[in-house]
């Protein structure tokens, strides 16, 4: 399976959070058994790959120790890979990435783009694995302090330039460009308006010439959009209809992949969008 080869639709990355404090599922899959069962359900629903993570990156989250993160993800990766899943490990730590690849993971999804652990790029280069590098400025416990984009071009120009700098670092470390996927990092050191601005203008990021993965699923900017003006955001599990509209937009833009929690709903939204696009102008 050539993960980075175009397919005519975004690849669907199903999220498996093996954490007790995830924003999206509240620790529902914190045990290995529950996480594996959930991963198998996502595969049955049509996930192209599964993203296994053992560290919550919600705003304000504190980091687990390395041994705890390893204990969370490695058994789940081993079982799901053995079941035939294409597995991505969601980690910022080189040690976890190395162990995950040894357990059967094929992709490293690093939300820090190599900034959190200086050894990450070396590990990825040595393994020859595809590498998803996200735009990132700081760890979750203080990332909101860095949600400022006051320079000319605003958030779009800043994300483009900072990702371009990370690509240079990856290439210098020996990671081949054809193995790199970029992620604009919706919700990471970004306020709601920043996320919408990025979604409305991804072309400068696509102009970097590398595939894009976008993760909007269940994020707070959707909840804020849908909630009452003077009330709380729409609950996490009631944001899927708005997310389907975002997926249709991303499908039309030709992004490489989308990171989602509800795989079946995502595949449905993508299929309908592709069906319409394939018939446009035929009448």
Q: Is 219 marked active-site? A: yes
> Catalytic one among 93, 166, 219, 234?
219
For 231-240, the CB contacts below 8 A with 24+ separation are 236/23, 236/24, 240/265
Cα 283 to Cα 207: distance, rounded to the nearest angstrom: 32
Give the relative orientation of helices 66-82 and 94-103 as an angle to the nearest 10 degrees: 20
Given 78, 234, 259, 267, the catalytic residue? 259
DSSP state of 161: H
109 near 120, Cβ under 8 Å? Answer: no
Active site annotation includes 190? no
Q: Specify whether the CB–CB gap between 218 and 23 falls below 8 A.
A: yes
Structure tokens at 68: 């705890």
Contact 70, 94 (CB under 8 A): no
CA nearest to 48, candidates 144, 163, 130, 119: 130
The closest of 27, 163, 171, 4 to 88, measured between CA atoms, is: 4
- Give the separation between CA 220 and CA 187, rounded to whole angstroms: 8
Q: What is the strand order of the sheet 49-53 is part of?
A: 180-183, 131-134, 107-110, 87-90, 49-53, 11-17, 257-260, 213-214
What is the distance between the terminal CA atoms of the chain, rounded to a whole angstrom?
36
The torsion region of residue 174 among left (phi > 0), alpha (psi -120 to 50) and beta comes to left
Could you give the residue numbers annotated as active site? Answer: 219, 259
């Amino acid at each position: 399976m050539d993960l980075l080869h175009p397919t005519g639709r975004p690849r669907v990355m199903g999220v498996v959070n093996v954490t007790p404090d995830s924003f999206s599922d509240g620790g529902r899959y914190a045990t290995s058994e529950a996480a594996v069962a959930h991963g198998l359900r996502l595969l049955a629903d049509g996930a192209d790959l599964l993203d296994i993570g053992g560290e919550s990156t919600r705003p304000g989250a504190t980091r687990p120790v390395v041994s705890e993160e390893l204990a969370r993800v490695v058994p789940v990766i081993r079982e799901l890979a053995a079941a035939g899943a294409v597995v991505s490990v969601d980690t910022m730590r080189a040690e976890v990435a190395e162990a995950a690849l040894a357990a059967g993971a094929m992709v490293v999804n690093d939300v820090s783009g190599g900034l959190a652990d200086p050894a990450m790029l070396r590990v990825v280069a040595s393994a020859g694995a595809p590498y998803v590098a996200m735009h990132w400025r700081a760890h979750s416990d203080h990332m909101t302090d860095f949600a400022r984009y006051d320079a000319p071009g605003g958030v779009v120009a800043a994300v483009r330039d900072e990702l371009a700098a990370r690509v240079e670092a990856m290439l210098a470390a020996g990671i081949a460009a054809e193995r790199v996927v970029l992620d604009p990092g919706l919700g990471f050191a970004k306020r709601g308006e920043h996320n919408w601005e990025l979604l409305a203008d991804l072309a400068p990021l696509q102009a970097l010439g590398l595939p894009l993965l976008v993760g909007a699923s269940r994020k707070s900017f959707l909840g804020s959009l849908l909630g009452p003006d003077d009330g709380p955001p729409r609950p996490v599990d009631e944001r899927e209809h708005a997310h389907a509209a975002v997926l249709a937009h991303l499908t039309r833009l030709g992004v490489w992949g989308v990171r989602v929690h509800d795989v079946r709903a995502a595949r449905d939204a993508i299929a309908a969008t592709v069906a319409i696009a394939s018939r446009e102008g035929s009448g």
